[in-house]
Every structure is written in C-alpha cells, then in structure tokens.
Amino acid sequence: MRKKRANLQKQAWKNGHEARFEQMVSEYHKEKAVLEAMTAGSEEYDKQKKLCEKLFANAERFFKQHQ
C-alpha cells in the first residue's frame, strides 16, 4: 500500500507542473502572435522579440527541471 500512496503523490505533483507549463506555453504563443503582427526592424519589434525569447527560455528551463 505504501507504494500506491507514493505513486498518487507523484502523480498529483506532476499534474500541477503540467498545468503551469501549459500556461507558460500559451503565454509564449500569445506574445509570439503579437510579434508576428509587428513590422520587423522597429524598436517595439526588438522589445517584443526579446520578450518572446525570454518566455521561451523560461518554459524550456522549466520543462527540463520538471521532466
């Protein structure tokens, strides 16, 4: 029985992190869509591109830590 309880705790932990990762990915996709609507070369475009790169790196790091 102990093994089953430990497995349930691990599963609950995993589901919580999956929800957080999905949120991070959806935020990235939303900002990426805004970036694609902008014209390349402008100052706003560069700021948005940096934001997208930062969001992607955060999501990638989070995924690697909780894999």
Is residue 21 within 8 Å of residue 55, measured between CB atoms? no
**Residue pair 3/17 in contact by the 8 Å Cβ criterion:** no
Asked if residues 35 and 45 have their Cβ atoms less than 8 Å apart, the reply is yes
**pLDDT tens for each residue of the chain, 67 residues long:** 556 666 666 665 566 788 889 999 999 999 999 999 999 889 999 999 999 999 999 999 998 887 7
Q: Is the pTM of this model over 0.75?
A: no
The gap between the terminal CA atoms of the chain, to the nearest Å, is 26
